[in-house]
Structure 1
Amino acid sequence: MTRARGTALVGMEWIGGTAAFVLLASSPAAAQTATFANIDAPADVTVIAARGAPRSVAESAVPVDVIGGDTIRQASPAGDLGQALEQLVPSVNFPRQSNSGVGDAVRAAQLRGLSPDQLLVLVNGKRYHTTSTLALDSKIGRGTAPVDLATLPTGAIARVDVLRDGAGAQYGSDAIAGVIDLGLDRRASGAIADLSYGSNLTAPGAIGRRLRDGATVQAALELGTGLGDGFLTVGGDWSHQQGTDRAGYDRGGYYLSNGSATDPRNTRLLGRRLFKLGDPAASGFHLWYNAETSVAPGLTLYGFGIAQVRRALGSNFFRWPVIVDGDGDDYLPVAQPGGTAGFRPVSVIHDRDGSGTLGLRGAVGGWRVDGSVTYGANAIDDDLRESVNYSLGAASPTRFHLTSLRSDQLVGDLDLTRDYEVGLAVPLTVSGGIELRQERWRAGPGDPASYAVGPLADPAMLGLQPGAQAGPGLTPEDARRVARSVAAGYVETSTEPLPGITVDLAARAERYSDAGAALAGKAAWRAALGHGVALRGSVSNSFRAPALAQRGLSSTTLGFGAGGQLRRIATLAVDSPAARALGAAPLRAERSLNQSGGIVAAPAAGLRLTLDLFQIQVRRRLTLSERFDLTALDEAARAALGLERYDAINFFTNAVDLRTRGIEATGEQRLALGAARLTLSAGYSYAASAIRRVAAPPPQLAAHGISGALVGLEEANTLDGAAPRDKLILGAELGREPWSAMLRATRFGAVTHQFDFGAGDTPSQRFAARWSLDAEWSFSLSPRLRLAVGGINLADAYPAPSGDAINGAGNLAYDPLSPIGVNGRYLYARGRIAF
């Protein structure tokens, strides 16, 4: 089954990818006239901050960043939307992960330092669906099910609006940190083809050698044609990325003990690069369309859709050939993929994603009416190869299917807007609407061999670790299906009661079939003071219901404990008998209160400055509990809980109250230097989170002899210290046809990463701030052909090497979560041709 499923997926990728490559699909270069003509509004006008007439960014009552599609593609030559936003928006963090299973392939973006699942993503103003995985082995974003930005094609984007303010009253749950709205291209004629290639050329100091890896090729095509009085735009892209490796040299065996540490079959491997640390190898494609046309006077039919297929190969920790069995004796397991050379399991992630929207908008009785239906779905198959189930002995396969995750979302929206003349400085805009949503999530079991407790696991025999190494798979008992329905209604008003005074008000009622009802409200204002200066501010409350995956997930992982020993850890569903017996409570919705205030200034032509302060308080923040050690319980006590196979457990809990305070500043100066254009820009973000309260552990834990806080050191660090508190971006762009040049310097702030390996082993390390220097030069060979060359992190900067306490005996030379990443210098070339 696993091999057939994988072969089918590879075939789909090859067919779609080959077709897209032959057509030269869409990627990052910048024929200015090709993109700007298809944007609905000028680059400094936003429609996301408030419903009604578009406003300039400077006129908005809340902070908004508006980014053109060409700028997005320039910032990420490999076609990674999350990386582009991190490069361009100081408030966005997009951490990398390694050796974390699905977490290697599905990365989560943060806004204002908050949780990835507190950020709402829209496409053409419509709610986009989330991923189906919780990525339990990740650090930042661990246990969340956010939107996977990799499912969205950068070549399709005409503009991105980033609303940096709570917007639960306007757009619904998940908008605690803010909203990202992607506008798809609206091409009515012609075509654009792009091709890009890049690679890492780097010399990481901790490894002491020059490396060339991470080679990435992307090809894309976009076509446009008229559709009545409207347009039909279709496009696609294909990409292939080679993995990267920044692992160090082994200095003693990460989890070797007893006689296995001196066994010659192990010691002959010392000093080699045995682990793999870096990006996964990945390939895949996107297909998309955007269309609209009039079907009657004053009535427009529109639709758009996106499909994505991706396959990623991630690495797991190296397994040494000789291990220690349950009796403390050395043992060479049979059926190991590497024989006496050890093995490194490979995670194979198959990610398939699709969404589509169909809607009608027009004027009815003086109201502007927009009704639509949107469906989105995500499917992830998590497989392993080059692994083994020790407990099965010679009968063990080396390939396993671990689980199948599925989620989907069906949304129906009806929005109405009308302007009223009521004697104010501008008409009063009144909007209202309803939304109905149906969500489903399920987790299917893995192959029986992936979770089997084989005969060699019996302590009377060898007592070997059961389940696939780097797994194990989801058991039939852990397989779950959950669903819910959501109904919401909102009202919003916007006006200027006096010239230069803007007031926006919004309220929303939302009811979840599984999480109850909630009310959200928002008030925002802006007051012009003259001479291009204005004050602005907002106050709002919001909420976020637990994700279905957080409600339903039940799984088992293998993790490292003190001395590098593998431990079997269960994440219990909160409604399971074992979790309830240990005091787990039903999950509740998070509640937030957002406050912000700032100043906007345009003191001279071409100059714009903004400064905003904010505070976000989140009550009942949903997080994973500490991993509670079960090794002190006797066998009978564990058996009574149904946990006799596990060394530790955790579960989801509403245990934390969190407060985030910050400051954001932007500046832009546009100048004409003769026939050339110069744009200087700067952006700074500071967001510091502090835990204000942690709930006491339920008494049932102590009653069962289990000690420890409900939220441990690692999870607390994830909430308040693992992401950079500040980031500074300085940019300059100079252009005079037929050439243009870009230079960008980014300072990623310092971070501290805390670890808890058990038995009192709790090391931490602070990683100092680092600068990244990026540049690009482009040249038009003709009005239709443009070429560009550039580099990211040209100075080849790296974080400080990981210290001995956390580098796994030298194997994990760098911490992949360091904001600047561990890939080093990336150089690229790309071209765009317009037809």
Structure 2
Amino acid sequence: MLKNAFTILTLLIASLTISFAQNRSLSGTVKDEKAAPLAGVSVQIKGVNRGTVTDNEGKYRIDVSDNATLVFSFIGFKPQEIGVKAGQSAIDVTLAENAELLSEVVIAVGSRNSKRTITDSPIPVDILSATDLRSTGQPTFDKALQYRVPSFNTVNTPVNDATSLLDPYEIRNMGPSRTLILINGKRKNTSALMYIQTSPGRGESGADISAIPQQAIKRVEILRDGASAQYGSDAIAGVMNIILKDKYDYGSATLSAGITAKGDGQLFGIAVNNGANFGKGYLNYTIDFSRSALANRPGKVSAEAEADPDMGFGAPLAQVKAFLAQKPDAGNINGQPETTSAKFLINGGNPLSDNTEFYYTAAYVYKKVNSFANYRTPYWRTTDDGLLTPAGQPYMGYVPTFQGDLNDYHATVGLRSETNGWKTDLSFTTGGNKQLYTVSNTRNRSLGKNSPIYFKPGGYSFSHNVGNIDISKAVTDKLNVAFGSEFRAETFTVYVGDTASYVGTGADSFPGITPNNAGTNTRFNFGGYVDLGYDVTKDFLINGTFRAERYSDFGNATVFKISSRYKLLDDKLTLRASYSTGFRAPLLHQIYQQLAQASFVPGQGIQTKGIINNVSPQAFALGVPKLTPEKSANFTFGLGLNPNRNLSITLDYYNIKVKDRIVLGSEIAGTAAGNTALDKILTTNGIVAVSFFSNALNTTTSGLDFVISQRNLLLGGNKLGINLAGNYTFENKYTSVKNTKLIADAGKSVFDRTQNALLFTSRPKYKMILGFDYQIKKIIFNLNNTLFGPTRFHQSGLNENTDTEFVPRVVTDLSVSIPFSSKATLTLNASNLFNVMPKWNFIDLKTGTKTHYNANDNVPSQKYFSQYNMITFNGRYSNVTYDGSHFSQLGTIFNAQFNLKF
């Protein structure tokens, strides 16, 4: 199939080349009214689906015939049509600004009523272009954001099972479920996977933004402010609005290839973006295929720890050493799993009349992940009952495999119209995410020789259907009004595994979902809002929004937002502030998911523990109350400074208070005495240790975001751009913990130091990005340095006086873009150019002493020997510990992209 696709593409390019040869070349430069070159201007031949865009110097080249008409268009400027005269070889153009079009830069995230520019916005909004994302060299959209937005954080965890299908991300340290994701202003569905590993993002879920093909993205707008009043649940930390390519300018095919400096993790991909314009209608589509190979980063395993009965398996040391002599990493495979994905996306619109447009968007993603569980060494699982070892071969243990199959879809249809100044947007959105799992090369030990070695342990799905109507009007030159409503129905399904996967002890490495833990649950909600914006003067704006929601499972929620900005010094200085209340409805996953989970417990190895759902008899017996919405109060204050057209500075302080924050608590087990009411209930229900969701915390998060951008500095006769952006967290903590009486009376708590570390200190204390853009002739250089601040962990098993800390590190990325012609460009990327790896220390909390310790160092002292082995599973996860780190452990990655326009 791939071979045929290349053949078709080659024939298409050849036919286009022959066609262009019959025309002649025309070039020119496009500038604004201040004589500054404009990059990215669309240059289209009228009536023909062919064109180009200007480069960083505003220059373009295009093949035309006599009597052709060129259309020059760019966001924020009035379009121009210019006829080509016979024999003409150059056309230079000056585009005039259009205030009405310029206001389209921020589509929806700033306010629900009339659209405003970034300067006019009373709240902080980041705008990232497709070029910004591509220059990171990162293979997926979420990883590109990691190196472009300081307050955005995500990282691969070292555990490669279902977690490989969703990497938790967050803005401003608020967790993945508190950032609302929109596609063209419409809500994206949440992933079916609830993240339950003991690593950042535990107990939450979010939309799978890695599933969105980068070639389809026109720009990304990130609102760094609470927006529940505008959009409802999930917008406590902010909103990310992904704007897709629309009007067709040119088609392109991109070939990608990459590899790590260690020679693994090979990446190959091909993406095609194309479309057509018909009248005033358009269609833009993207097809993206990619595959990344395994990148393995295991550590060296300690034989002494493996043989120790407390830290390891209590096996004879000689047996352990004999095995590790053959497999120093104990056969473990952890790092980046093998991933194959296919992504399809369509975005289009068609006018039905002079003032009505029908629009539509559809996206589908299939992703398959192949990875491995921890290797079952022969002294851990002492037999495989002859099921996994070839006849005549000595038993050497086995490594269970894990396969995840993900299907994700999103689609919107709608009508936009304008009558007498009233703008109406009526839409319907549907979306879903389904994940099914397969484990193989393993066994159900309780079935003995009758066990299969291939299991289907079940999976999860989440879907929603959303109806929206939004109406707005500029009532006067000063007053803007908007109002609307939303209906949303959600469904969460847990699929039962095959019988052999859950009966008895279950499939070794990934026990299946039992019938009593499977099922389908639904809910719906209806909400409405009103939004008023009033320009008191041309410099002073006040905006207010009120929203009311009704949920079928917990009742009502009402929130509001007030924001303002004041411009000074001829618009060179803008002061802005906002105050809002917000809410986040508990996820259906958090209410209904119940399971047994196999995971690594420091000092105890792999253990199977449970999560009881919020409506179970066991939760009722423990006195766990029903989940209610989180409530938030969000205050921001900032300024924007534009002393000249080449320099811009923004500085924004934020303070977010969350009441009744939903967390997946620490495991609750019986007491040592075994004589409390808690012990009685656990024993009666056959529970050894259990976790559950509750509205356990009140929290406070505050910090500072800043962005400084300097453009067009002259250096060596060429122009240099400098960008400095950063986020610093002042405070991220809980102010109170709520335990049920039964648990508190037993001296237990749902929130321990490990949960505190995962929630509040496992993301960088600060993060800064210093970037340089430099162009020599037509070659563009991008150099970015990302400083990841310290993160703290207190893993289960560490003593009370010890923490671990990942120290600050700078990761440098270099990108070089080389245009061979106006249609062919090669981009070379080196991510993490200097092969910087995460580095962590043990911290003695009494003395403040820091001790660096990993598997590759000479150990001067045995002080932390046992604790090191507890948190790295005896060295298997020595690079990042079992909980993950603040950036990837893969080291330097080289990749190249060849883009061909047609």
Q: TM-score, normalized by length of structure 2?
A: 0.82
Superposed displacement of residue 598, structure 1: 0.9
Q: 1:186 aligns with which of 243, 246, 260?
A: 246
Aligned pair in 2 of structure 1 residues 23, 776: CA closer, same or farther (>3 Å)? farther
- Residue 814 of structure 1 corresponds to which residue in structure 2? 879
- Residue 367 of structure 2 corresponds to which residue in structure 1? 310
2:292 is the alignment partner of 1:241: yes
Please tell me whether the aligned partners of residues 227 and 292 of structure 1 are also in contact (alpha carbons under 8 angstroms). no
Superposed displacement of residue 639, structure 1: 9.6
SS in 2 for 1:551: helix
Distance across 1 between alignment mates of 2:3 and 2:473: 49
Aligned pair in 2 of structure 1 residues 39, 720: CA closer, same or farther (>3 Å)? farther
Query: What letter matches 1:721 in structure 2?
Result: T
Distance across 1 between alignment mates of 2:116 and 2:838: 41
- Residue 366 of structure 1 corresponds to which residue in structure 2? 421
Q: 1:538 aligns with which of 578, 595, 602?
A: 578
Aligned pair in 2 of structure 1 residues 115, 348: CA closer, same or farther (>3 Å)? same
Please tell me whether the aligned partners of residues 61 and 525 of structure 1 are also in contact (alpha carbons under 8 angstroms). yes
Please tell me whether the aligned partners of residues 567 and 647 of structure 1 are also in contact (alpha carbons under 8 angstroms). no
Superposed displacement of residue 184, structure 1: 0.5
- Residue 653 of structure 1 corresponds to which residue in structure 2? 694
2:652 is the alignment partner of 1:615: no
Superposed displacement of residue 735, structure 1: 2.1
Distance across 2 between alignment mates of 1:678 and 1:136: 45
Greater Rg by CA: 2
Please tell me whether the aligned partners of residues 631 and 648 of structure 1 are also in contact (alpha carbons under 8 angstroms). no
- Residue 710 of structure 1 corresponds to which residue in structure 2? 750
Please tell me whether the aligned partners of residues 20 and 219 of structure 1 are also in contact (alpha carbons under 8 angstroms). no
- Residue 416 of structure 1 corresponds to which residue in structure 2? 471
Superposed displacement of residue 646, structure 1: 4.8
Q: 1:97 aligns with which of 142, 145, 157?
A: 157
Gaps of 5+ in 2: 11-38, 43-51, 55-71, 77-101, 841-852, 855-864
Distance across 2 between alignment mates of 1:242 and 1:571: 33
Q: 2:396 aligns with which of 322, 329, 341?
A: 341
Superposed displacement of residue 678, structure 1: 2.3
SS in 2 for 1:799: coil
Aligned pair in 2 of structure 1 residues 784, 190: CA closer, same or farther (>3 Å)? same
Matched ranges for 1:105-144 at <5 A = 105-144=165-204
- Residue 301 of structure 2 corresponds to which residue in structure 1? 250
Superposed displacement of residue 481, structure 1: 1.4
Distance across 2 between alignment mates of 1:643 and 1:388: 30
Distance across 1 between alignment mates of 2:279 and 2:545: 37
Aligned pair in 2 of structure 1 residues 559, 255: CA closer, same or farther (>3 Å)? farther
- Residue 112 of structure 2 corresponds to which residue in structure 1? 51
2:665 is the alignment partner of 1:665: no
Please tell me whether the aligned partners of residues 682 and 688 of structure 2 are also in contact (alpha carbons under 8 angstroms). no
2:640 is the alignment partner of 1:606: no
Query: What letter matches 1:261 in structure 2?
Result: A
Q: 1:547 aligns with which of 587, 590, 606?
A: 587
Gaps of 5+ in 1: 1-14, 202-210, 325-330, 454-465
Deviation digits for residues 85-134 of structure 1 (CA, Å, limit 9, x no counterpart): 11001110012212252112211210011111000000001111110110
- Residue 319 of structure 1 corresponds to which residue in structure 2? 376
Q: 2:729 aligns with which of 687, 690, 699?
A: 687
Distance across 1 between alignment mates of 2:8 and 2:577: 48
Aligned pair in 2 of structure 1 residues 365, 355: CA closer, same or farther (>3 Å)? same
Pairs aligned (count) = 781
RMSD (Å), alpha carbons: 2.7
Q: 1:765 aligns with which of 804, 826, 829?
A: 804
Query: What letter matches 1:146 in structure 2?
Result: G
2:550 is the alignment partner of 1:511: yes
SS in 2 for 1:155: helix
2:868 is the alignment partner of 1:829: no
Please tell me whether the aligned partners of residues 671 and 679 of structure 2 are also in contact (alpha carbons under 8 angstroms). no
Superposed displacement of residue 754, structure 1: 1.4
Distance across 2 between alignment mates of 1:23 and 1:713: 59
SS in 2 for 1:132: coil
- Residue 748 of structure 1 corresponds to which residue in structure 2? 788
- Residue 734 of structure 1 corresponds to which residue in structure 2? 774
- Residue 122 of structure 2 corresponds to which residue in structure 1? 61
2:731 is the alignment partner of 1:677: no
2:322 is the alignment partner of 1:268: yes
Q: 1:525 aligns with which of 564, 570, 573?
A: 564
- Residue 740 of structure 2 corresponds to which residue in structure 1? 698
Larger relative CO (CA 8 A, sep 6+): 1 or 2? Answer: 1
Distance across 2 between alignment mates of 1:360 and 1:148: 27
Query: What letter matches 1:73 in structure 2?
Result: R
Distance across 1 between alignment mates of 2:660 and 2:780: 50
Aligned pair in 2 of structure 1 residues 696, 601: CA closer, same or farther (>3 Å)? closer
Please tell me whether the aligned partners of residues 622 and 681 of structure 2 are also in contact (alpha carbons under 8 angstroms). no
Q: For structure 1, which segment, 799-808 or 65-74, has the greater mean C-alpha deviation from structure 2 after superposition?
A: 799-808
Aligned pair in 2 of structure 1 residues 561, 336: CA closer, same or farther (>3 Å)? farther
Query: What letter matches 1:621 in structure 2?
Result: R
Q: TM-score, normalized by length of structure 1?
A: 0.89
Aligned pair in 2 of structure 1 residues 176, 35: CA closer, same or farther (>3 Å)? farther
Identity %: 27
Distance across 2 between alignment mates of 1:574 and 1:135: 17
Please tell me whether the aligned partners of residues 755 and 763 of structure 1 are also in contact (alpha carbons under 8 angstroms). no
2:329 is the alignment partner of 1:277: no
2:276 is the alignment partner of 1:225: yes
Aligned pair in 2 of structure 1 residues 367, 86: CA closer, same or farther (>3 Å)? same
- Residue 263 of structure 2 corresponds to which residue in structure 1? 212
- Residue 813 of structure 2 corresponds to which residue in structure 1? 774
Please tell me whether the aligned partners of residues 77 and 196 of structure 1 are also in contact (alpha carbons under 8 angstroms). no
- Residue 227 of structure 2 corresponds to which residue in structure 1? 167
2:535 is the alignment partner of 1:496: yes
Query: What letter matches 1:754 in structure 2?
Result: H
2:494 is the alignment partner of 1:443: yes
Please tell me whether the aligned partners of residues 255 and 563 of structure 1 are also in contact (alpha carbons under 8 angstroms). no
Deviation digits for residues 288-329 of structure 1 (CA, Å, limit 9, x no counterpart): 1000011122110000111000001232222121348xxxxx
Distance across 1 between alignment mates of 2:676 and 2:734: 38
Q: For structure 1, which segment, 253-262 or 566-575, has the greater mean C-alpha deviation from structure 2 after superposition?
A: 253-262
- Residue 441 of structure 2 corresponds to which residue in structure 1? 386
Please tell me whether the aligned partners of residues 303 and 320 of structure 2 are also in contact (alpha carbons under 8 angstroms). no
Superposed displacement of residue 574, structure 1: 1.4
Q: For structure 1, which segment, 396-405 or 252-261, has the greater mean C-alpha deviation from structure 2 after superposition?
A: 252-261
Superposed displacement of residue 670, structure 1: 1.0
- Residue 9 of structure 1 corresponds to which residue in structure 2? none
Superposed displacement of residue 55, structure 1: 2.7
Aligned pair in 2 of structure 1 residues 22, 129: CA closer, same or farther (>3 Å)? farther
Superposed displacement of residue 214, structure 1: 1.1
Superposed displacement of residue 626, structure 1: 1.2
Distance across 2 between alignment mates of 1:429 and 1:585: 43
Aligned pair in 2 of structure 1 residues 645, 21: CA closer, same or farther (>3 Å)? farther
